[in-house]
């Protein structure tokens, strides 16, 4: 496996013309939050379509940013079972070309990945070094993307996260709130356990990692980041309704009683210790982030 560029090599590399971080993604949950940070240039699908990996590489070489964050992906988990070839282009081939361009420019590459690279077995938090065994097309294509980045020779940070939520896009929080208007009682799975993670916290973490990697390439690797404490989907729903003061009753069911095309991991717990050690980034309390999101959605008063 090719190793990252050394510090000596990086110091000799020409700097990009723009002192900006180039972000792939503009309307997604994390990309939307990155837009609010300083010196971020976010690209929409019209600017750079991940279904055309070569165009992504070309865009990086044209703009010559100081760093690249990939916040775009094929995330339709169930649809990926029927469109795995397309999902692989977006989730595997495009990051490969991005990493290659970053290697050529000698700039850091931060890439967002997922807990779906694990099989979801057991009850212990998955560590970055743990064995990966994705059970579906989405996880397989994301894992292939990780491998391509690691083999690129670029210096990088792969950030695996889980249960992303925000006031934008499609996510569990918004799904639960929409369901309130239709049902007084909701059935929600209780055997899927994980750490809900706000897009806002992920964006801030990506920004911080990027700034550290601009100073040193010695921290290249795979890291985990998610909210704390771990909780079931059913209890997550209960907290959403508690904060939003909704009377909806949540009835717990097993995942086996709610079949989906793609298998969901039962254990989405992530061990985030190495992120704290390397970047001094702690896990956020997702309940506090949930309050912010509910305020943004107008569900609770400021």
Catalytic residues: 138
205 vs 211: CA distance, rounded Å: 10
CA-to-CA separations, 198 to 56, 77, 229, 277, 288, in angstroms, rounded: 27, 19, 13, 21, 10
Residue 81: strand, helix, or coil = helix
Our CA dihedral for 147, 50, 98, 83, rounded to 10 degrees, sits at 10
Q: Are strands 67-70 and 40-43 parallel, antiparallel or unpaired?
A: unpaired
Separate counts of helices (H) and strands (E) for the chain:
11, 13
Task: From 158, 189, 191, select the one nearest 172 (Cα to Cα).
Answer: 189
Q: Three-state DSSP class for 22?
A: strand
Handedness of CA 210, 211, 213, 219 (dihedral sign): negative
- Pick from 205, 176, 207: which is nearest to 189 by CA? 176
């Amino acid at each position: 496996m090719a190793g990252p560029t050394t510090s000596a090599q990086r110091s000799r590399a020409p700097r990009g013309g723009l002192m900006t971080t180039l972000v792939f993604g503009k309307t997604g949950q994390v990309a939307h939050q990155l837009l609010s940070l300083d010196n971020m240039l976010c690209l929409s699908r019209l600017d750079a379509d991940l279904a055309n990996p070569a165009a992504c590489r070309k865009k990086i070489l044209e703009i010559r940013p100081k760093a690249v964050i990939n916040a775009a992906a094929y995330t339709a988990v169930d649809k990926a079972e029927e469109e795995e070839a397309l999902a692989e282009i977006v989730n595997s081939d495009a990051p490969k070309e991005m990493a290659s361009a970053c290697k050529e420019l000698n700039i850091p590459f931060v890439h967002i990945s997922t807990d779906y690279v694990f099989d979801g077995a057991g009850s212990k938090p998955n560590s970055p070094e743990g064995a990966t065994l994705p059970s579906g097309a989405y996880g397989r294509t994301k894992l292939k993307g990780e491998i391509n980045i690691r083999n690129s020779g670029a210096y990088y940070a792969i950030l695996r996260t889980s249960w992303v939520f925000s006031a934008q896009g499609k996510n569990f929080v918004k799904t639960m709130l929409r369901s309130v208007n239709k049902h007084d009682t909701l059935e929600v799975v209780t055997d899927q356990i994980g750490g809900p993670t706000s897009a806002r916290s992920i964006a801030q973490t990506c920004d911080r990692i990027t700034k550290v990697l601009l100073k040193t390439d010695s921290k290249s690797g795979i890291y985990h980041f998610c909210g704390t404490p771990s909780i079931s989907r059913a209890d997550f729903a209960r907290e959403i309704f508690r904060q939003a003061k909704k009377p909806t009753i949540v009835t717990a069911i097993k995942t086996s009683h709610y079949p989906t095309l793609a298998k969901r991991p039962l254990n989405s717990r992530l061990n985030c210790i190495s992120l704290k050690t390397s970047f001094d980034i702690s896990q956020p309390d997702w309940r506090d982030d949930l309050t912010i999101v509910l305020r943004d959605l107008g569900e609770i008063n400021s």
